[in-house]
Amino acid sequence: MIEKHLGKERCFRLWMNSLGISIDMNNLFGDVRNGWVLLEAHDKSFSGSVNWKQASKPPIKMPFGKVENRNQVIGIGKQLNSSVNVAGNNFVHGKSLYDT
């Protein structure tokens, strides 16, 4: 079961890297914590969907900047009907939903 999820995670990382985002994703759950990479992925997939004036670019030292990015990611997902039971807190800890 875990191997199946690791395969999905690897596939998702490869897809994200193919978009030409600013970092090379090696750890999916760690690399998305500040929300920036997900904003980039949304913008590459749905051009103009991200309000870059409201986004905080890494390195983000203040926690509210990370929260703003994550909230924008979730808001875009809801607008596109593509969010799957995700909250900003899921990103904070950098853990997979499959972690027990």
User: Which amino acid belongs to residue 52?
Assistant: W
For residue range 8-42, list pLDDT tens digits in order. 888 989 999 999 999 899 888 888 888 899 999 99
Closest C-alpha to 67, from 49, 48, 51, 91: 91
pTM as predicted: 0.81
For residue range 35-91, list pLDDT tens digits in order. 899 999 999 999 999 999 999 998 888 888 888 998 899 899 888 887 666 666 666
User: Which amino acid belongs to residue 58?
Assistant: P
